[in-house]
Amino acid sequence: MLYAGFMSFSTVIHEVWFLGLVLQVLLAVVLMVRGMWKKFPIFTTYTLFSLLETAVLYAVFRNQVLYTYFYVIGESVLYILGLALVYEIFIHLFAAQPALRKMAGMVFRVVVFLLVLLAGAVLYLKAPLIAPHGSGGISALLIVEESARLLQVGLIMFLFLFSSAFGLHWRQHVFGITLGLGIATVVELVAVTVALHAGPTLVKVLNLAHVASFDFSIMIWLGYLALPERVTNRADVPHRAQLEQWNQAVTELISR
Amino acid sequence: MMITVLVIALAVCAVTLFYLAVRSRIKQSGQSIRPVNLKAFRTLMDRGDEYFLKERLPRSKFTKLKRQRIRVTARYVGRIAGNASAVLHMGEAARLSPAPEVAQTAVQVMELATHIRLQCLLAMTKLAVEYALPSLQLTPAMLVPKYQVLRENVSRLGNLQRGNVTPLAAGI
């Protein structure tokens, strides 16, 4: 919602934004009622702060100075909470994998280091873009946000890649939280990256996509957290006779 | 502008990854242990066969055949990796068993399954290199002994639990 200052909100954006506020209230209720705040304290803090930020921004969006001020503070806090949330997901993902935890921790630190370097490089290489822009402050903020989101997206990608390489099973709630965070962060990354080169019309579209994607992420969180966790169906383990039939078929296929 | 394109490409990769993760999770929910024919697997890895084919066949035909063998071997490795993943998932519950022996065996099984997943990654990398350069000879030969130890340990866990894990040991 950074571009509120230099663009007029259409009714659609306003309504989508309001929908997000309602959804966040609903999510907060679900987290409290289902006692999820004990299991995911950082996610709960993230959600509650995001709700607070949205409510405050919604209340002051007509005042450009106040809006920018609250936006910068709110997004900075949310960003730090977002990074902490990635770490909370990491802890949950590897809680049941004692053999992998140490190696994953090591790789995680290396990935953080490389991503910080990458984010720094983006910041450095894009710094010259600040000067020619009319609103230098806004473009500087966009570049900083781009670097920051790059780090966050990279970490979420690492979690998915690492778990996929080792065939780890994602628990429903942890998966939902990661997926929602991932989608919201990726859209935000694209929005801030493109906004720097975009005209006012495209900025409006990006703004709508950004707000809509966050609403979509909240829906994902609601869906995954409200539903009870599925229990593994052990009945899926096939009988030996069936296994032997499959085995024979594959063997025939190989030896033909 | 170049950086912007790279960042957008990364974002597209991330979205693809999310999609694959959702698909993989849906598949994982119905994941079961699938049998692996270790004898056939060993035959595929037999270098003696490969030398024989190399001497008898023209180079182009040998290359084509070797690539076929690699594709099949990769499927075996993939199946072993899938089974190790299923064992990891099933071991999560057994690890929390009130019986210390069951919990301990589950931890051992999970450690071994993790090790096999790592071996599978290495094996897949080696197979990919051999597929690209068929004249090279890199075989995931170290995979078989570890997989056999996993079978024995899963079988032991099944005996300890006397529950649903028994068909699992028989399956792999």
In angstroms, the CA B167 to CA A64 distance is 66
Chain B CA closest to residue A104: B114
- Write the burial class of residue B57 (CB in 10 Å: 0-12 exposed, 13-18 middle, 19+ buried): middle
Looking at the predicted complex, does its ipTM rise above 0.85? no
Task: Give contacts of A 129-158 with B, CB under 8 A.
Answer: 146, 150, 153-154, 156-157
* Pick from A126, A179, A236: CB nearest B18: A179
A250 in contact with B, Cβ within 8 Å = yes
Retrieve residue B49's tokens.
């066969």
- The domains of chain A are located at 4-228+237-255
Neighbours of A75 (CB within 10 A): 20
Tens-place pLDDT, residues A124-174: 888 777 655 556 677 888 888 889 999 999 999 999 999 888 888 888 899
| Subunit contact B88:A161, Cβ cutoff 8 A | no
Residue A123 above 90 pLDDT?
no
Tens-place pLDDT, residues A179-234: 999 999 999 999 988 888 877 788 888 888 888 999 999 999 999 998 877 655 44
Chain A CA closest to residue B83: A167
Chain A CA closest to residue B116: A166
Task: Give contacts of A 5-64 with B, CB under 8 A.
Answer: none
